[in-house]
Amino acid sequence: SIMQAARDYAIYARGYIQGRLFSLPHSPTELYGVLVSKVTSLITLPLPLLSVLALPFFGGSGTTVNLVVFYLTWSALVATHNPHAIESGGTLLIRLLCFLLPALSSLAIDCAVPSLSKRFKAQGARQLPIHLVRNKGGLVEIAGIAVLNTLLSVLLQAALEYATTQMLHMRSLLKVTAIAPLPWTMVKDVAKGYIVHGILRYMIHRYVLHTVKSPLRTWHLQWQHSVRLPFSLIAAYDHPVNYLLSQWLPVFAPAYLFRYHVLTWHVLLALTSLEELLVYSGFAVLPSSIIIPGMARRTDAHFESVRSGRIGNFGNLGVLDFVFGTACDSEVNVVDDLESETAKHRLQDRIESAVGSALKGEPHKLSAKPKNMS
């Protein structure tokens, strides 16, 4: 009967609550032990990821040793931690280290030492956050929304995993196994995911946020494009729905579609997080001599094109903008960047010289650096 079912449920709930209360710490000493245990668990989560990221800095036989240590560490981590905690904890840590904390630090430096920061900005003092936002309250709001959106994306992913595994009793969205993927497999999967990410990002940004008249388009213009030029936190400053759709979904979708190993997901997330941090930074001095500076210039040009009414540069890399003719008219495209870099290093001359020497049977090596032009 209904009364009997309600009584059984009440008895079950009472027993469950008593059990949970019994497991809670009952003294300051027990509370301290629980906190230390949790903190230690969080500290150990990133160790395998940090070790695999450090592999390129070591060579020779040391690389083999590092790979062995990495695989052993990863196996131990999977054996001693909940898979859900590994995925969510690693995702949160990467977003903090590769985007949120550096972006907040950059904003603090821009506000504290504007005379120094303007020297590194592509458009000088005009691109300082204190000149782009009317008051400090506006900067606090931008920082708060960026933090909220970043944490919201991590929470959404954790909720999806919980719903899939615990409620629907299906396999996890990402693979968390003791057998880590081989480095070459990881590189191929990351490259494949990055291509899908770029296509989704371009399509959503162009059609959903800038073309089709909808609340999403209005929110995007009122939130992110209320700032004339970007700085790093602007990458995460948008209406939460827009942010999840245009920033989080293009990254997570390929990981879900191809069911990445969690390590591959973390590497892809780290790369895209660093991309957001750098291409929205507004800095003229950036890593790489081709890709990153060109992406940053195209992002700046996109923000200015919104103001002029001739919107372009919907993708970060610029390839799809070049193919579909949506690059800003005054902006150097990705092909121009590659041609400029090739000319800078006299790459064509060096290739022709190497081919000529090979045809003549003469030994020839491409020099690591171009000859002095003077």
The mean per-residue pLDDT over the stretch 12-26 comes to: 66
Q: Render pLDDT for 326-367 as a digit per residue (tens, 0 to 9).
A: 998 765 666 666 666 566 555 556 666 665 665 665 554 444
Alpha helices in the chain (DSSP H): 2-23, 28-44, 47-54, 61-80, 83-95, 101-112, 114-117, 129-132, 136-162, 183-203, 215-222, 240-243, 249-257, 262-279, 291-308, 319-324, 334-344, 347-360
Q: What is the pTM of this model?
A: 0.75
Q: What is the mean pLDDT of the chain?
A: 81
pLDDT tens sequence across 53-112: 555 444 444 556 566 777 777 888 888 888 999 999 999 999 999 999 999 999 999 999
At residue 21 the predicted structure's pLDDT band, cuts being 50, 70 and 90, is: low
261: β partners: 175
| Residue in this structure with the two tokens 């790489």, named with its chain if needed | 288
Residue linked to tokens 């969690």? 262
Q: Which pair of tokens denotes residue 321?
A: 């903008």
pLDDT at position 308: 85
**Phi, psi angles (nearest 5°) of residue 139:** -65, -40
Average pLDDT of span 301-330 = 88
CB 279 within 8 A of CB 296: yes
Angle made by CA atoms 234, 128, 110, in degrees to the nearest 5: 90
Measured distance CA(113)–CA(115) in Å, rounded:
6
Res 193 pLDDT > 90: yes
Does residue 250 carry a pLDDT above 70? yes
In what helix (H) or strand (E) does residue 333 lie, and over which residues does it extend? none
How does 35-74 read in b/e, with b if 16+ C-beta sit within 10 Å?
Answer: eeeeeebeebbbebbebbeeeeeeeeeeeeebbeebbebb
Question: DSSP of 2-56, one letter per residue?
Answer: HHHHHHHHHHHHHHHHHHHHHHS--SHHHHHHHHHHHHHHHHHTTHHHHHHHHGG
Task: Give the chain's radius of gyration (CA, Å).
Answer: 25
- Angle, nearest 10°, between helix axes 47-54 and 83-95? 60
Give dist(CA 151, CA 154) in Å, integer.
Answer: 5
Question: What pLDDT does residue 285 have?
Answer: 76
Q: What is the pLDDT of residues 148-187, one digit of tens each?
A: 999 999 999 999 999 999 999 899 999 999 888 888 899 9
39 pLDDT higher than 60: no
Q: Which pLDDT belongs to residue 293? A: 84
Classify residue 370 by its DSSP letter: P
Tell me how crowded residue 176 is: count the other CB atoms within 10 A of its CB.
20
Distance CA 367, CA 12 (A): 75
Percent of the residues in the chain that have a pLDDT greater than 70, as a whole number: 71
User: Can you read off the two tokens belonging to residue 43?
Assistant: 């500290």
- Percent of the residues in the chain that have a pLDDT greater than 90, as a whole number: 47
Instruction: Choose between 45 and 153: higher pLDDT.
Output: 153
Residue 214: which pLDDT band, with cuts at 50, 70 and 90?
Answer: very high
